[in-house]
Amino acid sequence: MAKFTDINAYSKNLAAGYKPLPFRFMPLDSEKYVLTNMAGEFVVTDRDGLVEFAGGKLHHQSPAYSDLKSKHFLIDSDSDVALDLLALKVRTKLSPLANFTGLHIFVVTLRCEHSCPYCQVSRANDNRTDFDMTEETALRALDLVFQSPSPAIKIEFQGGESLLNLDLIELIVAEAKRRNETEQRELAFVFATNLAVLDERALEFAREHNIFISTSLDGPKDLHNRNRPRPGGDSYERTIDGINRARAVVGRDHVSALMTTTAASLDRAREIVDEYIRQGFRGIFLRALSPYGFALKTKFYQSYGHERWLQFYFDGLDYIIEMNRNGFPFTEQYAALILRKMLTPFQPGYVDLMSPSGIGIGAVVYNYDGDVYASDEARMLAEMNDKTFRLGNVHDNTYEEIFLGESLLDPIEQSFAPSAPMCSWCAFEPWCGSDPVFHYATQGDFVGKKPLSAFCGRNMAIFKGLIERMNQDPEIRTIFENWANN
């Protein structure tokens, strides 16, 4: 039977040199390797440097030695607090878990007057009020919201088109605020809306309650209107008009937009970025299409592979970097989330990049009919008649049954990246996520075979791409540090 080595053996080693701490490594290209530790700090070196370090042969006066020591890749005889510091950094990264669910999404209606072919929700016609959430369901969902231990609660109203059920939104906001008089949480609200039906009543309500507005803008007029058909073919005009009116009432920083990449977007990354700048945004989130709901039904998801999306992504990213070099500050927001993980001790709390997975923990969805889903994507999957990630119903189940049941704990446990095949030895694991819903939707199980996974392929290429760019040019490193810290 194997025995542990006596404790004195380790101190002898330290007296003679150094001891590497746990680390993982991957090739960046044919010459360079990236090394990461448990806290997500990283070092780039060549093969000889890696072999020298791992073999215990690094000279203690070399610059590489100091770099690796300061980033907790090794300890030596005078590393008194190094392990405690590393542990503290790992704890800081994992600390948001203790707060549990902060984002609570209320699907107040499935009605929508748009008919976007890539829509991830099976929308209902805008006169079908049987697809609206009832008051009773909303109040029961609020009971669950305030059982979350999170000190910060964000309630986001989604649809369909959320503003088609403004009566219910008004009731939920009033009731949440009333309950919060005793709860004293940090409470925020978001309208997720296409802005086409934004009227003065909704705007005044948003102003009065300091509500954030999140909309969709896919790019220039022709592209946006092609992606997002509605009666009158004027989705773009209504969105831009709505953005401007909303900014005037709730303030510029309370209005944000998201884009979705369709096949028609792929050659137009720079035009899409230009459109965001023209409309006065300070950043853009270059997003791929999700393999759920209508997008899959209409075969939109298969219309491009992740390699083609990556070309689009890096074209946009490099354009934005060039802009920053020329003195115009503008952020690519997906890169900023990853850079926050790479360059700071903090977690951005973005569900797709969490491990343990952020489903249920980072965000939860209360559907119009009272069903509770582990994420927005889980709800979209249910729209395709697959309720694997249905956690329960607000009318039938307790908080404990919903949030501590097997429907949530099973996928979180199985997909946990540090113990998943390939992820467990991947150098990018400290920055990555596990996304069991994506892997279930595309491969039929919570873990997924990572060599075949678009999630893995996309993230791995972006991790490498960001490191290469920082490594090649200190000016890009400075730009990225600004993104990570903003």
Binding stretches for ligand SF4 (CB under 6 A): 417, 422-423, 426, 428-429, 432, 450, 456, 459-460
Instruction: Answer yes or no: are the C-beta atoms of 110 and 122 closer than 8 Å.
Output: yes
At its nearest, how many Å lie between ligand SF4 and the CB of residue 370?
34
When the beta carbons of 371 and 429 are compared against ligand SF4, the nearer one is: 429
The residue type found at 25 is F
Residue (270 or 287) nearer to ligand SF4, CB: 287
- Please state the closest distance from residue 48 (CB atom) to ligand SF4, in A: 25
- Least distance CB 451 / ligand SF4 (angstroms): 8
Which CB atom, from 149 or from 421, has the smaller least distance to ligand SF4? 421
Which residue matches tokens 């058909």?
229
CB of 481 to ligand SF4, least distance (A): 23
CB closer to ligand SF4 out of 156 and 429: 429
Q: Is 296 left (phi over 0), alpha (psi -120 to 50) or beta?
A: alpha
Contact 486, 336 (CB under 8 A): yes
Burial of 319 (0-12, 13-18, 19+ CB in 10 A): middle
Q: Residue 154 in 3-state DSSP?
A: strand
Residues in the chain: 486
Q: Which two tokens stand for residue 106?
A: 């209320």
* CA angle, residues 313, 318, 319, in degrees to nearest 5: 100
CB of 1 to ligand SF4, least distance (A): 33
- Closest to ligand SF4 by CB, 170 vs 468, is 468
Distance of CA 348 to the CA centre of its chain: 8
Nearer CB in complex with ligand SF4: 320/417: 417
Sign, CA torsion 92/98/102/107? positive
Q: How far is the CB of 27 from ligand SF4 (least distance, A)?
A: 13
Report d(CA 351, CA 347) in Å as an integer. 11
10 Å CB burial of residue 434 (0-12, 13-18, 19+) is buried
Minimum distance of ligand SF4 from residue 354's CB (angstroms): 12
How far apart CA 384 and CA 401 sit, in angstroms, is 24
SS3 call for 173 = helix
Strand 212-216 versus strand 186-192 pairing type: parallel
331-332 and 18-20 beta bridge pairing: unpaired
Residue with Cβ nearer ligand SF4 (35 or 273): 35
Cβ distance to ligand SF4 smaller for residue 462 or 479: 462
**Is 49 or 433 the residue whose CB approaches ligand SF4 more closely?**
433
CB of 126 within 8 A of CB of 178?
A: no
Q: How far is the CB of 41 from ligand SF4 (least distance, A)?
A: 16
CB of 426 vs ligand SF4, minimal distance in Å: 3
